[in-house]
Structure 1
């Protein structure tokens, strides 16, 4: 069993920042954390990354699509790929995320449960990619948003059966499309609901009975309201859309905060890529839409919602699979302190994903998934982009 000690000038443990620290690793787990910063004298391999380096838990992206290629038309690309070609792309996408310090991802929509093959691969060879918490094909209405992934289902009994199948296959989370979306021609628009309150309750009750959390894709206000009332564990996107634009409703935000529902905000964009408006939306309308969403996100954080970041990586060129760390800067522009943003990407995200204690923190007993960056993570949102090293299950991958 290989042992090593990783030393740096500061450490963010998933909750707070402290000074020099040495993290002792054995068998893929953290066994001891020395906050005096003393270097070991027991023969362990020592990796001293210097005074300007900061140790962090590996980041957690709560919403990715490894099957989407982050190209200009990921849906067409996916449809044209064989399963073997798609798996090869998904492996590369997972590797890209890992090298950016993203050591855990929730894959919230694949084709034909392909992500479960990667779950097994990464368990055998953790140095090849992040731990994947897979949803499989998302539940959607016939012809609904992302129906091409294979998760079309309608009616209470069929919904229960679909949840049971996902559980039997080994999925870690159930994803349901409570509203329409932007990427599926012919489906209902994003502001419109696909499932009503009773259907959502069926899915939540069955999933929770089986010990699985539920993530609800919800752009429209009614879909957000119904999903929160049904008891989903996380609301994805949370755009507060209406037919006329964005209308952030304080009473609904209050309800989300009171229930403790997680909101997975769609942040993190490659600053070198322009966001392409959905078909039929003018550029100026897209800009107004983005500003409205950001105002809503700011209110959710300000009023105390459980905010995590799901990048939605893969859906376009501005969303490569290594994009999550840019979310720190995005939250900073909303008035969120960098350390609070890092909490959203580590310990809080781990709580949502039901891997709390094992992921998202640097503490004895946790997985040795460690990101090392250069700079002042307390004051500089860009510091998390300056990656010095990444360890996955105690194995240095860069």
Structure 2
């Protein structure tokens, strides 16, 4: 019989919000959670030969999920060059950084010719990767250099099928322009019609795949919503021409009613970004997020890691953005675990500590419900039952 691992701590937060087990324990065998509960109950079911690791004063919680990363980018400002030169060794280094920051699952939303998919297939242990392959875009459009450009419905459907054949878990489409591709449509420009986006969604659904849609402009957000996408990335609500925000109540209500998730994908250094925006624009960002929450739009966290200067470490710093926006700490942790797992379609595998789910868990010194900074004080990271080298505080 494979050896069991018994983890005990002052408390276990199994997820979702409100569930807390004082003096709790998690029993793991062969990468799967066998039992979660009060220490005495779990210890009574553990094998006499179980490896027991006790963490006084600590908290055990599910591994975190970063819903928006790019493993082929290097956070050094030239994504096209980084993607062209990316190797499996570099992806492995970035995956290790993510794990050491407490992230046990990521959604990779744009690689070069399926490189992240290949890396995922060759590394069945450690970091769980939900990957899209090359994002679907227009010729010379946003991130065209990743190899996903297509023109017209027939080519768009063919591109979706190609990504599915590569082994994609999700289809990524660039509904608007972006910031990192020179001489391409602006962030607020719409790259596809609603009909074209609907064709992409239809072809993806034929392959059993969800659709994640990059959309900064409000017109692109509206088109993606009408097309029936699964998640909207960035969801910036930029007015056509870039003159501020265009917050449309009817579109927001539709996003909420259709259960579409929003991932704003801000980096860990969001404070520096807000400083560069200036106080007036920063206040608008805060009010925009509150407006989305008031409309019932479900939000999931991500960092766009690799793009721009967004790194692969300090996920706790990225989550502190949501506390700044007014979210409760317990809700933030649920967003980064249970809710994100649901949004990514892996809720039957991870996102909570429950029997039968993957052994993806963290041990933090202190209580993250008291201070999110405790998510940086990691004493242990376990991904799919595999202990990761101790993270540095």
Which TM bucket (shorter chain)?
over 0.9
Equivalent residues of 1:266, 1:309 under 8 A apart: yes
Count of aligned residue pairs for this structure pair: 381
Corresponding residue for 1:42?
Answer: 48
Corresponding residue for 1:263?
Answer: 262
The partner residue of 2:226 within 224, 229, 232 is 229
Deviation at 1:76, TM superposition (A): 3.4
Determine if the alignment matches structure 1 residue 203 to structure 2 residue 222. no
Q: Secondary structure at the match of 1:308?
A: coil
Corresponding residue for 2:327?
Answer: 336
Matches within 5 A, 1:212-223: 212-223=209-220
* Structure 2: runs of 5+ lacking an equivalent: none
For 1:339 and 1:37, how far apart are their aligned partners in 2? 26
Corresponding residue for 2:83?
Answer: 78
Deviation at 1:194, TM superposition (A): 0.3
For 2:15 and 2:290, how far apart are their aligned partners in 1? 22
For 2:331 and 2:160, how far apart are their aligned partners in 1? 34
Equivalent residues of 2:153, 2:196 under 8 A apart: yes
Deviation at 1:357, TM superposition (A): 2.3
Corresponding residue for 1:280?
Answer: none
For 1:173 and 1:321, how far apart are their aligned partners in 2? 21
For 2:276 and 2:39, how far apart are their aligned partners in 1? 53
Moved more, 136-145 or 68-77: 68-77
For 1:180 and 1:134, how far apart are their aligned partners in 2? 21
For 1:217 and 1:287, how far apart are their aligned partners in 2? 26
The partner residue of 2:298 within 290, 299, 306 is 306
Corresponding residue for 1:26?
Answer: 29
Corresponding residue for 1:359?
Answer: 350
Equivalent residues of 1:270, 1:323 under 8 A apart: no
Corresponding residue for 1:316?
Answer: 308
Moved more, 171-180 or 380-389: 380-389
Equivalent residues of 1:246, 1:293 under 8 A apart: no
Corresponding residue for 1:188?
Answer: 185
Corresponding residue for 1:173?
Answer: 170
For 1:226 and 1:121, how far apart are their aligned partners in 2? 37
Equivalent residues of 1:7, 1:37 under 8 A apart: no
Equivalent residues of 2:102, 2:315 under 8 A apart: no
Determine if the alignment matches structure 1 residue 93 to structure 2 residue 99. no
For 2:209 and 2:259, how far apart are their aligned partners in 1? 17
For 1:48 and 1:214, how far apart are their aligned partners in 2? 42
For 1:46 and 1:20, how far apart are their aligned partners in 2? 14
For 1:249 and 1:37, how far apart are their aligned partners in 2? 53
For 1:122 and 1:290, how far apart are their aligned partners in 2? 40
Q: 1:379 to 1:191 in 2, by over 3 A?
A: same
Corresponding residue for 2:371?
Answer: 380
Deviation at 1:154, TM superposition (A): 1.2
Corresponding residue for 1:151?
Answer: 148
Q: Which runs of 4+ in 1 moved over 6 A?
A: none
Q: Secondary structure at the match of 1:61?
A: strand
Equivalent residues of 1:268, 1:323 under 8 A apart: no
CA RMSD in angstroms, aligned pairs only = 1.8
Moved more, 28-37 or 112-121: 28-37
Deviation at 1:69, TM superposition (A): 0.4
Equivalent residues of 1:313, 1:323 under 8 A apart: no
Equivalent residues of 1:234, 1:264 under 8 A apart: yes
Task: Please give the per-residue CA displacement for 1:28-50, whole angstroms capped at 9, x wherever unaligned.
Answer: 00011132455446221101011
Q: Secondary structure at the match of 2:136?
A: coil
Corresponding residue for 1:54?
Answer: 59
Determine if the alignment matches structure 1 residue 241 to structure 2 residue 238. yes
Equivalent residues of 2:64, 2:102 under 8 A apart: yes
For 1:263 and 1:311, how far apart are their aligned partners in 2? 13
Deviation at 1:384, TM superposition (A): 1.2
Equivalent residues of 1:371, 1:389 under 8 A apart: yes
For 2:67 and 2:191, how far apart are their aligned partners in 1? 22
Task: Please give the per-residue CA displacement for 1:186-212, whole angstroms capped at 9, x wherever unaligned.
Answer: 111001100110000001111112110
For 2:289 and 2:36, how far apart are their aligned partners in 1? 35
Determine if the alignment matches structure 1 residue 348 to structure 2 residue 349. no
Equivalent residues of 2:267, 2:311 under 8 A apart: no
For 2:330 and 2:318, how far apart are their aligned partners in 1? 12
* Structure 1: runs of 5+ lacking an equivalent: 278-282
